[in-house]
Every structure is written in structure tokens, then in C-alpha cells.
Chains A and B, each alone.
Chain A
Amino acid sequence: MTTVPASTAVTNGPTAVPREHPPLNVDSVVKRFGASTAVAGVSLEIPQGASFGLLGPNGAGKSTLIRSIVGRVRPDSGSIRIFGHAVGSAAARAELGWVPQELALYPLLSCRENLQAFGRYQGLGGKTLEDAIAWCLDWAALADRSKTPVKTLSGGMKRRLNMAAGLIHRPRLILLDEPTVGVDPQSRNRIFEMVEALRDDGATIIYTTHYMEEAERLCDTIAIIDHGHIIAMGSKEALVAKTFGTSSSVLMHVGPATTDLAAWAAARGGTATDNSVLVSVEKPTEIAALLEAAALDRLEILDVTLQRPNLESVFLHLTGKELRA
């Protein structure tokens, strides 16, 4: 079982308080489609208030895992519990808010009518529903578009309404499946603010994305899934440290060289391609020694870049694929 670290975790002991069920507990979930195993025994537990990013290349099993949590895919084995309730139960459905990647809206209905419909599907009614609609329209900055048919909204507005429709019942566990796909930077920023507002309200968030900067900005814990397994999990810093240690990369572009560039780089634990050399250093001050050695060997240095590994590097290193490939 992989547990996401959280400052709110309650420990057992002489002064232990009754432990509330975690928002999400996934235990040894396996799902196969014919001969293909989409999810191969994933276990994880997400504590209250966590903001959890789930990254993975296409076909890694991310969507299947998400749809299993939502109850739209039935695992072959293992269990998933939401605040202690079995997935699919009325209690679990009430606690979970799902924002699917697709614009799952009624295009001919207005914003208000869509929210009304999805609110009723979640069991809301009367004043509670009206209050929820008002909150959604305000939260999604669509109050002035409440009577506008969805099909005439901009892409960003549709995305925001799509989010609001999934959260109208104010769930405590929120699953956002690539909520910024196909929106312009301004709308994306607005969506970030919406997610941050939810996080500040104490909701537990699971966020999937193909944009590294979104995961870095919105998620305190990130898991990378590939071939149906969670292959790494932790904070961004922890993932980088675990994958690359404390080293950084120095990239040097050089002019036409008389020296064997590959041999020169290999002698310093690095690699060379065409007219560039990539060398790993533990401290930035080691750059000075590299420059001195280059001068001695008559290498003309055109520019030098110190690269600190980031989440993209971790992802590439672990999966062998670009995140947005």
C-alpha cells in the first residue's frame, strides 16, 4: 500500500483519536481487457486535503484507474473505497465529484438548466439545489451566462461549466480528469484558480494532466503510472531527488574542436553530441573546473547552461516518453 504523506495524518497511540476513513483507498486493483492488463495491482491511499496529481503516458492505465474510482469500470480484483464506502454505493457517489475529460453536457440546454439537471441527478432539490446552482455559476464565473445555451459558449466556458456540473453537490473528493484540455491560457489560469479555491476549502483533489506545469502548480503529491503500475510517487522535490539525487546537468555548446569531444566528455562522466557536451555535477561550483579543463584542451566554449532536473526529466527518465507525446 502506497500512502500519500500528509500533515493531517492521524497516528495511533495513547492519545489517538478515532481515525476517519481516507478519502480514497485503492487496494490491489487489477483490471484486464482481454489479454491486456490496464491496471496491474495498484494500491494507494490519499489522505484528507491532499492534492494528488496522477501522470502517465497514453495507454499507461491512468484512465482505467480513474474510471474504476468513479465506478464506471469494474476491477477484476482488488477494492476501492471512498471515505470507507464501496465504489458505486450511494454514499460513495455522494462523496465523489468527477469532472470527465469529455464535455459531458447537454449542448442545447442553458448553463443553469445543465446544472439543474446534474444537481437533481445528484439528489439535490429545492433551495439546496438553487443555492448550489448559484455557487456553481459564481465559482465558474458564468453567472452572466446562466441562460446561454451551452453550444454557444466558448471552449473555456464549456470547460468551467463541465467542472461545475461535476461538483454541484459539493463533494469532498474531487477527481479532475484533464480539465484544461483544449483551452486558451487565460481560461486555463481561471481553471487553476477554481481548483485552488477547492483546495483551499479543504477538498481532496485528484488531478490528471499532460501539462507538467499544472501538476507542479496544483499538486503537492504526484504519482507516475506506467504499464498499469505506479512507478513513482511523492512530492516534486522528492521525485527529483529520488530519481537524480542532488546532481545537476551542465550543457556546454562548443565551437569546432580538434579534440575528440566524446572522449573528453566520457572522461568527465558525460556525453557528447555534435558540438555539445552534457556533464553531471553535484555542485554548481564544479562548472569552474570544467571551464578550466576546456580551456586547457583548447575547446571553444560558446555557452554554458546549468540544468536542474524537473518533473519532466523525472517522467522522461522513468517512462522513456515525453509527457505530451
Chain B
Amino acid sequence: MIGTIVQTSFRSLRRDRGAFLMSFILPIGFFTIFGFVFGSMRTSGTPRVAVLVVDQDRTDASRALVRGLEREPSLDAVTRPKATKENPAPADYSEASAQDAVRNGDAPAALVIPAGFGANPISFAPGGSRPTFRILHDSSDPVAAQVVAGMLQKVVMTSLPSMMAEAGSREFSSWVGGLTPQQRRQMDTGLGQLRKYEQEQDAQPAATPKSTTDSAADLSGMVSVDIQDVVGGKKRNPMISYYAAGVGVMFLLFTASAAGGSLLDESDSGALDRVLSARVSMTTLLAGKLAWCTLLAISQLILMFLWAALVFHLDLFTHIPGFLIMTVCTAFAVASFGMLLASVTRTRGQLAAFSTLIILTMSALGGSMFPKFLMSNAMLLVGRFTFNSWAISGYTKVFWRDESIRALGPEIAVLLTSAVVLFLLARWFARKWEYA
């Protein structure tokens, strides 16, 4: 008896070829995607942290430090914005322009090399007159500032060995009451060799990565660093809008897929035939389903953010216009995606398997499952092809950066264009329901 039940179930699954294949492809496919995602993270090391470097010192020492930062493989250090058609030769970052760039989300942190660094760069003792570096950071990325601070200590040591040795010898000399002339000559010879080594290092291309196995942990404190929040410092819960958007969009995708699946149910029951034999065209029917899915998604997002405001103190009520615009655009795009999924598949089984694979993949790559600051640049680039990424980006602009509605232009354009394109595709695939 049990054997018959198993056999019947197997035959039913096997007859639904799409669902049958997806039953096996889904786990393998998802595993493969995660393997690539996390495998690439391991082989490429820690994701590079973008940092804007402002050189206020303008000495040989500060320039050597900048070059060292640019060579550091765990950092993506830049001193000026990328050239554009409008501005083919952009000026170096100033403290103000770097701060604006961090606020705009161009980079999670900016490092300001203070004036006077070259004259008194490092100290092996606490206190002293050494100038303080400042890291201006966006606290929505809690990792970036710490990475920059740590890497700064390392780079100071590895790119300025002569300066470190010179300062060390001065320190040593002051402690032991001065060096003999012979000791001084030997010290100068050694420093000369270190300077030659620095010049050789400077001659190497900046993009050449070096080993990342060095540890700077035991050198922390050689330079003084002050970390300052320039975005979200006064916010009570830095990541809540990120997760509200990320989790919200992921479940919205599942909801839209299920709502779109009502087309398959109605096709099975014959209700679709009856509706289409009345004065309802396929386009009208799909548009009606799209409207319903969009309203459902809007309701879910509103509930999600109201909950975030109530429980996690998200500042929802001072961001209503931006929130509404992002919510409508996101819901519209997600609903269109649900229509497409339903129209591409032929059975509920296929829809469930197909949508699970796509939605979980999109959510993983788009930032719904893992914070974007933990992702490599390659992952971030791939993630730009997901709704999740654009929705998170838009909501972050609204709630975290307090940006104007105009700043949401790219997100609105991408989401609305996607919605229209996906709906047109869904309409094209829905021809299968129109006529036999």
C-alpha cells in the first residue's frame, strides 16, 4: 500500500517535467550560486573597502602613505573622483568634498591625512605631538572604518619603514642618552637602504596586490586616529531601514509569485476560460492581477515599515514622501515579476520551484540575506541586477542618508523600467492562455 502511494506520487511528479527537473536542479542550482558567492569571497580575500583619501599634508611622507594605501589590497583607496565627460580632470578630494561623497554613499569612509604628518608622523609612546588622522565614515557600514583604521597602521609601517626606523632611533637615542658616532653612521647606512627600498616599492604599479597575510595588529597605536560619523551618527538604529527593505522585498517576491499563481489555479479550474470568454481581454486580466499584486505588496511594505517604526524606532513619519515613492515603485516591479513567473510556468509545482530558486538567489545577491558591506565588488555588481539591491539602495537613501526625492532617480528609473519590461514579457508569455 505504501509502495503504491510512493509510486503514484513519483509518477505525478515525473509527469510534471518542469517541477520534476526543478526538484533536483533547485538545490544544486542554489548550492552552486552560494558556492560561487562565498567561494569567490574566500579566494579573493576580504572584500575591498572603498576609502577616499584626503591629503592635507602634501609632503613626501604623506604622498608615500597615499601610495601605500593605494597599494593595499584590502582597500580601494582613491584621492579624487572618477573623471566624467562633464569633469574630465576632477580635483583631489578636500575634506568637505570627501565628506559629501561619504554622505552620498559613494564610499563608506574617507581618511584625512592631517597637515603636519610628515614632520611628526608616528610615535612609539603614548601622547606626544603627533597629528591625528580622521576617518569620516558612514555608520551604516560598521566594518569599513575599523578596516581603514587597522590598514592605516599597517601601511604606515610597511610603506614608510625608513621613517619608522628614524623615529625609532630618535626615540631610542633619547632613552639611552645619545648614540656614538659609529652607531650613528651605521644607523644612517641602514636608513639609506630603507629609503632605497621605499623608492623601489613606489616604482611598482599601484594596482599590484601584495600579500594580505601581514598583520598590523601589534602596531596599532603608532598613528593617532579619530573616527567620526558623518552619516547616521544621530540615528538610533542604523541598519533597520536596510533590513526592513531587504527582508520586505524578499517576502514581497514570494507573495507576488503566489498571487501571480492564481492565474494557474484559475486556468486549472476553468475560471480563466470563462473570464476570457466574457468581455475581458488577456491584457486587461493581467493588468488587473498586476494591480492587485501591487496593492498587496504596497500594503505589506507599509506594514513592515510601520512595525519597524513602532518596534525599532525607524524614523518613518519624517520620510513619508520618499518612503511612498520607493514603496510604490518597488511593489510595482515586484508584482510585475510575479506576473512573469506565473506566465512562464505551467503548473503550481513549477512555479514554486522556479520562484524559490530565483527569489532566494536574487535575495542573496541583492543584499536581503547578507549586508552589502560583507560582499565583494563582484557580488555587488551582480547584485545590481536584482530588485532587492535597488530597493535597499533607495530606502537607504531615504531613511539613512536623508536624501531628497530627486536623488532617488536611478532607483525609480530602474524599478519602473523593470516593471514595464517584465509586464510586457508576462503578457507575451500569457499568449498560451489566450487561444488554443
The answer on A and B forming one complex is yes
Given the known interface contacts A73-B435, A74-B436, the answer about A118 and B278 at a Cβ–Cβ threshold of 8 Å is yes
Given the known interface contacts A74-B435, A102-B270, the answer about A123 and B277 at a Cβ–Cβ threshold of 8 Å is no
Chain B residues with a Cβ closer than 8 Å to the other chain, count: 13
- Asked if A123 contacts B271 (CB within 8 A), the reply is no
What residues of chain A lie closer than 8 Å to B271, measured between beta carbons? 104-106
- Asked if A122 contacts B278 (CB within 8 A), the reply is yes
Given the known interface contacts A67-B436, A72-B435, A74-B435, the answer about A98 and B277 at a Cβ–Cβ threshold of 8 Å is yes
What residues of chain B lie closer than 8 Å to A74, measured between beta carbons? 435-436
What residues of chain B lie closer than 8 Å to A61, measured between beta carbons? none
Mark interface residues in B269-280 (1 if CB within 8 Å of A CB, else 0).
Answer: 111011111111
Q: How near does chain A come to B281, taking the closest CB pair, in angstroms?
A: 10
- Asked if A104 contacts B269 (CB within 8 A), the reply is yes
What residues of chain A lie closer than 8 Å to B280, measured between beta carbons? 121
- Asked if B278 contacts A93 (CB within 8 A), the reply is yes
Within 8 A of B (CB), among A167-182: 169
CB-nearest residue of chain B to A96:
B277
Mark interface residues in B259-277 (1 if CB within 8 Å of A CB, else 0).
Answer: 0000000000111011111
Q: How near does chain A come to B123, taking the closest CB pair, in angstroms?
A: 75
Q: How near does chain B come to A148, taking the closest CB pair, in angstroms?
A: 18
- Asked if A72 contacts B278 (CB within 8 A), the reply is no
Question: Is A100 interfacial (CB 8 A cutoff)?
Answer: yes
What residues of chain B lie closer than 8 Å to A33, measured between beta carbons? 436
Question: Is A299 interfacial (CB 8 A cutoff)?
Answer: no
Mark interface residues in B314-334 (1 if CB within 8 Å of A CB, else 0).
Answer: 000000000000000000000
**Distance between Cα atoms of A129 and B227 in the complex (Å):** 69
Question: Is A71 interfacial (CB 8 A cutoff)?
Answer: yes
What residues of chain A lie closer than 8 Å to B269, measured between beta carbons? 102-105, 107
Within 8 A of B (CB), among A77-115: 90, 93-94, 96, 98, 100-107
What residues of chain B lie closer than 8 Å to A101, measured between beta carbons? 270
- Asked if A121 contacts B436 (CB within 8 A), the reply is no
- Asked if B436 contacts A100 (CB within 8 A), the reply is no
Within 8 A of A (CB), among B414-436: 435-436
Question: Is A165 interfacial (CB 8 A cutoff)?
Answer: yes
**Distance between Cα atoms of A71 and B279 in the complex (Å):** 11
**Distance between Cα atoms of A121 and B282 in the complex (Å):** 12
**Distance between Cα atoms of A90 and B270 in the complex (Å):** 21
Q: Which of A100, A107, A123, A169 contacts B273 (CB 8 A)?
A: A100
- Asked if B279 contacts A93 (CB within 8 A), the reply is yes
**Distance between Cα atoms of A104 and B276 in the complex (Å):** 12
Within 8 A of B (CB), among A40-89: 64, 67, 70-74
Among B270, B274, B275, the one with the most A-chain Cβ atoms within 10 Å of its Cβ is B274
Given the known interface contacts A72-B435, A74-B435, the answer about A121 and B278 at a Cβ–Cβ threshold of 8 Å is yes
**Distance between Cα atoms of A101 and B269 in the complex (Å):** 10
Q: Which of A71, A102, A105, A106 contacts B277 (CB 8 A)?
A: A71
Question: Is A23 interfacial (CB 8 A cutoff)?
Answer: no
Within 8 A of B (CB), among A210-260: none
Given the known interface contacts A74-B435, A104-B269, the answer about A123 and B279 at a Cβ–Cβ threshold of 8 Å is yes
**Distance between Cα atoms of A90 and B277 in the complex (Å):** 10
Q: Which of A64, A98, A121 contacts B279 (CB 8 A)?
A: A121
What residues of chain A lie closer than 8 Å to B275, measured between beta carbons? 118, 121
**Distance between Cα atoms of A169 and B280 in the complex (Å):** 14
- Asked if B273 contacts A90 (CB within 8 A), the reply is no
- Asked if B436 contacts A90 (CB within 8 A), the reply is no
Among B270, B276, B277, B436, the one with the most A-chain Cβ atoms within 10 Å of its Cβ is B277
Within 8 A of A (CB), among B271-301: 271, 273-280
CB-nearest residue of chain B to A166:
B274
**Distance between Cα atoms of A93 and B278 in the complex (Å):** 6
**Distance between Cα atoms of A234 and B280 in the complex (Å):** 36
- Asked if A98 contacts B436 (CB within 8 A), the reply is no
Within 8 A of B (CB), among A281-305: none
CB-nearest residue of chain A to B284:
A121
Q: List 30 A-B contacts (CB under 8 A).
A: A64-B436, A67-B273, A70-B277, A72-B273, A72-B276, A73-B435, A74-B435, A90-B279, A94-B279, A98-B277, A100-B270, A100-B273, A100-B274, A102-B269, A102-B270, A102-B273, A104-B269, A104-B270, A104-B271, A104-B273, A105-B269, A105-B271, A107-B269, A118-B274, A118-B278, A121-B280, A122-B278, A122-B279, A165-B274, A166-B274
Partner-B contacts on A (CB < 8 A): 33, 64, 67, 70-74, 90, 93-94, 96, 98, 100-107, 118, 121-123, 165-166, 169
